[in-house]
């Protein structure tokens, strides 16, 4: 049985994961109208992934005797100065999500809920991967600078990253 404090914290994380899905979806739509098909595909895929993270939490809360709350979401930003700035914002968002997961893990220790602590270790590992991926992409973007040919190649390559991460996620779960 979940404590009320932990149930509230988990419901907050459900909202954060849902909003993350919306952030990625908004970025996908922006990239798509800019003709950046690879980036759009990458973002659409990650939007789906964030939604699955949310659903996993919803099911967990309900299975542990709590009530997962589906709440109103904050609207994501819909326009970006450049694809570089968009990925910088994405990286900052992933850091925010990591902090939120870490805070949630701290609550499990305060509440001595070791089952939920164990459950959340998957999210801790996932956030390490998400941050590393965003940092790697930012490094590639910084190498490109304002080179249009580089952007074309990056757009194509980021689509490949999406395919590879989808394949590894399928194999890993």
Query: How do residues 2-16 score in pLDDT, each as one tens digit?
Result: 999 999 999 999 999
Determine whether the annotation assigns residue 94 to a binding site: yes
Please give the tally of structural domains in the chain.
1
Residue 17 assigned as binding residue? yes
pLDDT < 70 stretches in the chain: 162-173
* CB neighbours of residue 23 within 10 Å: 23
Question: Does 117 carry a binding-site annotation?
Answer: no
- Was 50 annotated as part of a binding site? yes
Residue 106 is part of a domain; what is its CATH number? Answer: 1.20.1260.10
The parent domain of residue 13 ranges over 4-172
SS3 152: helix
67 is in an annotated binding site: no
């Amino acid at each position: 049985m979940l404590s009320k404090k932990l149930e509230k914290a988990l419901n907050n994380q459900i909202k954060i994961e849902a909003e993350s899905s919306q952030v990625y979806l908004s970025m996908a739509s922006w990239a798509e109208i800019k003709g950046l098909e690879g980036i759009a595909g990458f973002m659409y895929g990650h939007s789906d992934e964030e939604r699955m993270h949310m659903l996993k939490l919803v099911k967990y809360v309900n299975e542990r005797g709590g009530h997962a709350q589906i709440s109103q979401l904050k609207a994501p930003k819909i326009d970006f100065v450049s694809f570089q700035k968009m990925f910088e914002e994405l990286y900052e968002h992933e850091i925010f999500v990591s902090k939120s997961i870490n805070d949630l893990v701290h609550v499990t220790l305060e509440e001595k809920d070791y089952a939920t602590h164990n459950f959340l270790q998957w999210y801790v590992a996932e956030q390490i991967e998400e941050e590393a991926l965003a940092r790697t992409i930012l490094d590639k973007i910084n190498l490109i600078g304002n080179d249009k040919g580089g952007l074309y190649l990056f757009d194509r390559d980021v689509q490949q990253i999406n395919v590879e991460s989808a394949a590894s996620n399928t194999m890993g779960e």
